[in-house]
Structure 1
Amino acid sequence: MPTPTSEGQGDLCLTNVTKRFGDFTAVDDLSLTIPQGSFFALLGASGCGKTTTLRMVAGLERPTAGTISIGEEDITEAKPYARPVNTVFQNYALFPHMTVLDNVAFGLKRRKVADATKTAKEGLELVELGHLAGRKPAQLSGGQQQRVALARALVNHPAVLLLDEPLGALDLKLRRQMQLELKKIQEEVGLTFVHVTHDQEEAMTMADTIAVMNAGVIEQLGHPTELYERPASTFVANFLGQSNLLAGEISDRVGGDLVVQVGGHKLALPGDRSTRQDGKVWLGVRPEKLRIGLAGGADGAGRNHLDGVVLDASFTGVSTQYLVRLAWGQAITVVAQNDGSALLRDGDQVQVSWVPQHGFALDAAQDAFAGAQRVGDDDTPVPALGGAR
């Protein structure tokens, strides 16, 4: 495959980008810099603006306001074919009457690129499909077709490769395999990948940086670990995995820790893990950070403790998910790894505990249900088990 030229290389920058469709604002004053060579994910639910953002970068939608550039090149008004950008779609869009090799070489031949066939073969080798060059798309599995579409995009050496829910049509096992494959390929070719997805696990597995989008704006941007461990809003806390949110109030400070009153209990939280230092908060803790045992049992010092009763126990193999009702009636979720211990039963009196450093606190003025999963025909918001009630 040919070496990329310097033309069109550099960071992808969106500056004050807005997109309106009539009275509806799909993307609202978005400013974002995606470093060259990074694997970047736009994560959010349907309608959050992530796909519209991708389409504006690709040139398939024109911004209502703002600018888009790659390096020193302003591409805001450029035609799609004139941009150093390629897109891999969920449906792959392969030509069914052509061989795999001809599909990959198609764009190169149209542009009269020298050694188009040789370059296409190198692209297929990159995605480990060189041995299938003579087959038609219908003779390939979904994962193989996805890799052909990826090779077709990569042989053009775009400055930015856009991935629009590329794994959505694959089954769970294959999707997880392809997540690792995509990350490996991105590291090998060193191009900027911008991946749009609604799948939190997919984004966290592959991306160096994730932007969580909601209602046309970015709720939080950062490394997957940062977003998961230190969510900046209830939306991010609920959307990215599960969170137990407990209504509390900061009542004191001891050294670097805050004292949070929750249901008559004093719970500790490091001050730097709270978005505010006084007043009412949602004290959050992830289900897998909790330890559960029978009430009255020995537990480590320096942990926060709450008593409750088991409402439900669901064994999933690698872990057991417990639904525990606390003394004031709120139900929280606890995920306990399967370490061979005896399972707790419905009705058991238990103690739930966690290390203060595993908690986080958010402004109680935020909606505790923001970002929670939605079920039902009426799209009624329902918190993930353990959400504030």
Structure 2
Amino acid sequence: MSLAEDARRDLRLAGLTKRYPNGFVAVKSLDLVIPQGSFFALLGPSGCGKTTTLRMVAGLEGPTAGTIHIGDTDITHEKPFKRPVNTVFQNYALFPHLTIAENVEFGPKRRGVKDTASQVKEILELTELTEQAAKKPAQLSGGQQQRVALARALINRPEVLLLDEPLGALDLKLRRAMQIELKRIQEEVGLTFVHVTHDQEEAMTMADTVAVMNEGRIEQLGTPYDLYTNPHTTFVANFLGRSNLVKGTVVGREGTGADAVVKVDMHGTVVTIKASRVHTESSEGWIGIRPEKVLIQPAGTPLDAPGNFFSGAVVSEASYMGVSTEYHLRMPWGQELICFEQNTGRRGGLVAVGTQVDVSWRPEFAFLLDSSQDAGAGIEEE
């Protein structure tokens, strides 16, 4: 089944700005194209402007400047009920006195649609709620209620479905199950889903494309894989997972095209970084490496797949987490780096605190960011 129209109807935001009377600018001249039929996520911390952007698309907030189009249709100043857009909120707002089927058919009946039975049946099957049709919302689990809210939105056949932290009220296990469900439903109906979340795992699990927002602007836009493996700013490097960031000085460049590399002096050791993963023109930068790409071995023993190599580190902390162990490594220059090591059983136990270790990582996994950026940007406080 496909509820999407045949014609190309991308959601386009141009120069979208929201300034409040107190002078606070929540969204700053946002330019964004969300392809029709894609699952798109706006990801960022509280206050970054993602929910305000969603509310402007829904018509619940008026923009200070800029335009909103779906295809060639300008909906910037349309009333919410006249837009081909529906929103699913964290608070599902189901009618407690109506059955699930009656909740789902409420929208079409309100618009005067006569024969809703077949539509309701189709949507309940899609959202796997057929057996719950005669029940009341209070009789359903949180995940089932979330699917009812989704079904109620889908039956209106919007071109764009907006999801505002829809899984926030669910516990962790159910939230992960619903991430898979939402992606399945989106692929089946072929609608444009725009999902607002502060949860990195949620965005990466479901979305085809993620826009990481910070202070009203988009820091970086791309696939989950590209954002994680090749962040362009310290904010993205820290907000999307964790990163080790070490100061370094560029000492040379070699090669051309895909083979081009940049040589960076890192506290006396020259490391190599692919030019495509260098995001600064400065002579200094933050060398970044994800903790799971860091390899360690007790000093003097062979390393698997060695690359950039450092000796003289000491394990300062070891936290066993079942599937992996998190090591904190005190480097010779005084900085602590983090290493995530999968517990495959090959090591035969943990590396004890106080052990001197050699440290390595493959050059193709490193990235270089602008030294003027805050190395702590994007780190969320516990």
TM-score normalised by L of structure 2 = 0.95
For structure 2, list consecutive stretches of 5 or more residues without a partner in the other structure: none
Corresponding letter in the other structure for 2:373? Q
1:274 alignment partner in structure 2: 278
Q: Does 1:258 align with 2:262?
A: yes
- 2:307 aligns with one of 293, 303, 307: 303
1:291 alignment partner in structure 2: 295
Q: Does 1:362 align with 2:380?
A: no
1:385 alignment partner in structure 2: none
2:115 alignment partner in structure 1: 115
Which SS does the other structure have where 2:162 is aligned? strand
1:378 alignment partner in structure 2: none
Q: Is the 8 A contact 2:56 2:62 kept in 1?
A: yes
1:313 alignment partner in structure 2: 318
Q: Does 1:374 align with 2:367?
A: no
1:11 alignment partner in structure 2: 10
Corresponding letter in the other structure for 1:334? C
1:381 alignment partner in structure 2: none
For structure 1, list consecutive stretches of 5 or more residues without a partner in the other structure: 376-389
TM-aligned CA deviation for residue 299 of structure 1: 2.5
TM-aligned CA deviation for residue 5 of structure 1: 5.3
1:187 and 1:99 mapped to 2: Cα distance? 27
Q: Does 1:204 align with 2:211?
A: no
Q: Is the 8 A contact 2:48 2:215 kept in 1?
A: yes
2:333 alignment partner in structure 1: 328
1:310 and 1:126 mapped to 2: Cα distance? 52
Alignment of 1:342-353 (within 5 A): 342-353=349-360
2:242 and 2:305 mapped to 1: Cα distance? 26
Identity percentage of aligned residues? 61
C-alpha RMSD over aligned residues:
1.4
Q: Is the 8 A contact 2:5 2:159 kept in 1?
A: no
2:114 and 2:319 mapped to 1: Cα distance? 60
Q: Is the 8 A contact 1:160 1:194 kept in 2?
A: yes
Which SS does the other structure have where 1:374 is aligned? coil
TM-aligned CA deviation for residue 276 of structure 1: 2.8
Decide whether aligned partners of structure 1 residues 278 and 60 sit closer, same or farther in structure 2, where only a CA change above 3 A counts: closer
Q: Is the 8 A contact 2:318 2:352 kept in 1?
A: yes
TM-aligned CA deviation for residue 82 of structure 1: 0.3
TM-aligned CA deviation for residue 278 of structure 1: 5.1
2:101 alignment partner in structure 1: 101
Q: Is the 8 A contact 1:252 1:260 kept in 2?
A: yes
TM-aligned CA deviation for residue 367 of structure 1: 0.8
Q: Is the 8 A contact 2:162 2:193 kept in 1?
A: yes
Which SS does the other structure have where 2:203 is aligned? helix
Corresponding letter in the other structure for 2:344? D
TM-aligned CA deviation for residue 279 of structure 1: 0.4
2:132 alignment partner in structure 1: 132
Decide whether aligned partners of structure 1 residues 2 and 175 sit closer, same or farther in structure 2, where only a CA change above 3 A counts: closer
2:282 and 2:135 mapped to 1: Cα distance? 65
TM-aligned CA deviation for residue 118 of structure 1: 2.4
Corresponding letter in the other structure for 2:144? Q
Q: Deviations over 1:88-122 (max 9, x none)?
A: 00011100111000000001101111321321121
Decide whether aligned partners of structure 1 residues 116 and 362 sit closer, same or farther in structure 2, where only a CA change above 3 A counts: same
Tell me which moved more, 323-332 or 259-268.
259-268
Q: Does 1:59 align with 2:64?
A: no
Q: Deviations over 1:175-230 (max 9, x none)?
A: 11100110010000000000000000000000000000000000000111111111
> Aligned residue pairs: how many?
374
1:210 and 1:248 mapped to 2: Cα distance? 29
TM-aligned CA deviation for residue 72 of structure 1: 1.1
1:253 and 1:110 mapped to 2: Cα distance? 66
1:213 and 1:309 mapped to 2: Cα distance? 37
TM-aligned CA deviation for residue 152 of structure 1: 0.5
TM-score normalised by L of structure 1 = 0.94
TM-aligned CA deviation for residue 245 of structure 1: 0.1
1:197 and 1:306 mapped to 2: Cα distance? 38
